[in-house]
Amino acid sequence: MSEQVTLSLTEVKSLSKSILTLHGFNDHHADAITEIIYTNQLGDCHSHGLFRLFMCIESIRSGRVSGTAQPIIEDAGPAIVRANAQEGISLLAMQAAMPRLIDKAKHNGIAALAINRCFHFSALWPEVEMLSAAGLAGMAMLPSHAWVAPTGGTRGLLGTNPFAFSWPRDGQAPFTFDFATSQFARGEIELYRRAGKALPEGVAIDKDGHPTTDAEAAMEGAMLTFGGHKGSALSLMIELMAGPLIDDLTSKESMDFAEGKPEAPYHGEIIIAFDPDLFSGGQRASNQQRAERLFADVLDQGARLPSQRRQAAQQKNLARKAVDIPKSLYDDLMKLKN
């Protein structure tokens, strides 16, 4: 096991914010980004925790990401909110638009938020859990860069294209999942590369289209979707839902826009919220009991619900008021402060 460094929860936030503001993000953006990084690190989601500061800094150094952009939030219809991030990281726009999305969903039963003109680096589960915390079911999806080959293909065309869903549960943590439609998230490939570890079989191909377990070769080649043609079709759906549907870029267009710069992908995001009370005709309570029986049947078989491990890590780290990160990561983060 690699050498670890223990950080207090306060240190996680202060380290993140100090690095972000040092490199040009204003307090509003730094706070929004730090909150998501902290939430992921708290759950030991290392690929989307403090590690993501490197992408944030690379992105603002590219000269195209704004660290001061003020999002524009507008009603685009009775059940649609649009948030123009104005070339900023997506999180400030998401946080600014979320209350309006929740209000519309509770009024109409369903509502959607389109976030446009944003750079994105973060996990989606904290966003959909904002909806479940408000008593709503929610899903979110977005493209990325063309790092993933479609099934049967030999080069990157699709993004890692994550999809997240959260269902509210009374008195306990929500049922939540968040996964890339690629076998691995891009950040996981990078963590394997940094650690010098071999990838599992079936995760990636090299630049010549041949299967590889070498993380460096995978970064130069393409990743693969999960589930063969099923994951490939789901990934294409996400390209459409979070691209042409909301007047934003596909993963291929996002990668072309980047012009080879090591910045976060530039594209859009769609978040959809559902009110279980209105959808069930006011029978939320009885239907929640049915949902709980479904979850209980999963656990009764010895299976786990998605996010159980992450939720347990959150509770453990909250109790100890600290998290552990690899010393190599900590040392590299310290270099960002110079």
Q: What residues act catalytically?
A: 47-48, 188
- Cβ–Cβ < 8 Å for 90, 264: no
**First vs last C-alpha separation in the chain:** 28
Phi-psi bin for 150: left (phi > 0), alpha (psi -120 to 50), beta?
Answer: beta
| Exposure class string for 144-183: b at 16+ Cβ within 10 A, else e | bbbbbbbeebeebbbbbbbbbbbbbbeeebbbbbbbbbbb
- Cβ–Cβ < 8 Å for 246, 268: yes
In whole angstroms, how large is the CA radius of gyration of the chain? 20
113, β-bridge pairs: 81, 271
Sheet holding 110-119, edge to edge: 72-77, 80-89, 110-119, 266-274, 137-141, 163-167, 175-179
Neighbours of 294 (CB within 10 A): 10
140, β-bridge pairs: 164, 271
Report how far Cα 250 is from the mean position of its chain's Cα atoms: 17
Neighbours of 277 (CB within 10 A): 16
Of 26, 31, 185, 193, give the one whose Cα is nearest residue 121: 185
DSSP assignment, residue 184? S
d(CA 201, CA 204): 8
d(CA 117, CA 71): 10
